[in-house]
Amino acid sequence: MTPQSEEIYILRRDGTESKRLDKQHEFIQQYTKPLFEELIPPGEIFAIADIGTGTGIWLHDVAKMLRQQYPTAQPRRYHGFDISADQFPITADDEFKFTVHNVLTPFPAEEHGRYDLVHVRFLLLALAKDQYQTALSNLTSLLKPGGYLQWEEFDNRGWTATPHTGPPVLFEICRIMIAGIAPTGISLSATETVLEEVTKAKFDDTTITYHSPIGEPQLQGMALDWLRAAASVMVSRSLLRTGEESSDADAVRRAETLLDGCEVECPEWALEVCRVGRISGRKALL
């Protein structure tokens, strides 16, 4: 991990965070189905690199889907990469491999041109805005000519744009998160930054689609649970980072109080900040 990325990333890597990530995946899948964008032909995908793999839950879901819906005698390979092995799953399945790698560092030559699909998800808290180009260049090296990229990010404009109207508690939550995270140089519009870099890299058939749980009231409870799990960490860590609070206990207590107020006064915000942008494109054949 580079010193810069060490400073940027605000979340923990432990058992509690692994459980949160798995629940987050299950929640997001409720409104971002299918697993692949329309551009990507599942029956032609045999080697997948998953970047920021975490617990590997996305890879395992994809493997299950492909086995059930696109059975083949040709073996498939699933390779998860992450900057830390702390959340890697324990697996004896030969189809799966997990490797520690920093996306800002070039991949080994033996990995170049091996993959039909490179999947990236939720690096917005790990990359500064000026690092996306380097990351994309390294990711592109993994793809075969004509291979596919699918990059998903939360549309973080839902909390990096301070609201002009609404309850004071919402303004305060956004203010704290911006104060703690924006100075690190992260993109304040991650989905648009990814789209800009993929377009500049001249991928074919580049598209962006947005997926949101807004209009699906049955997901309100899951959205609130997700928001509390994610935002409580981000708010408390931001309070410590800026020096507004000096102890973990005080930071967590203040974060929980703010989120209690948000749940009462503006529960719909939980649905707004769950919006996911999915950028897809195809590496040129030549």
Average pLDDT across the chain, whole number: 90
- Supply the pLDDT for residue 18: 76
Cα gap 115→4, rounded to integer Å? 29
Report field, pTM of the whole predicted structure over 0.85: yes
Domains of the chain: 15-283 (3.40.50.150)
Cα gap 186→125, rounded to integer Å? 7
Query: Which tokens go with 209?
Result: 């689609």
With b meaning 16 or more CB within 10 Å and e meaning fewer, what string describes 229-256? bbbbbbbbbbbbbeeebeeeeebbebbe
Judge contact between 95 and 64, C-beta under 8 A: no
The SS3 of residue 209 is strand
Q: Where are the beta strands (DSSP E) in 20-161?
A: 47-51, 77-82, 96-100, 115-121, 143-154
Average pLDDT over residues 200-207: 97
pLDDT at 2 over 50: no
Bridge pairing between strands 143-154 and 115-121: parallel
Query: Which tokens go with 227?
Result: 């928001």
pLDDT-derived band at 7, boundaries 50, 70, 90: very low
Number of residues written out for the chain: 286
Judge contact between 167 and 160, C-beta under 8 A: no
Judge contact between 235 and 173, C-beta under 8 A: yes
Judge contact between 98 and 89, C-beta under 8 A: yes
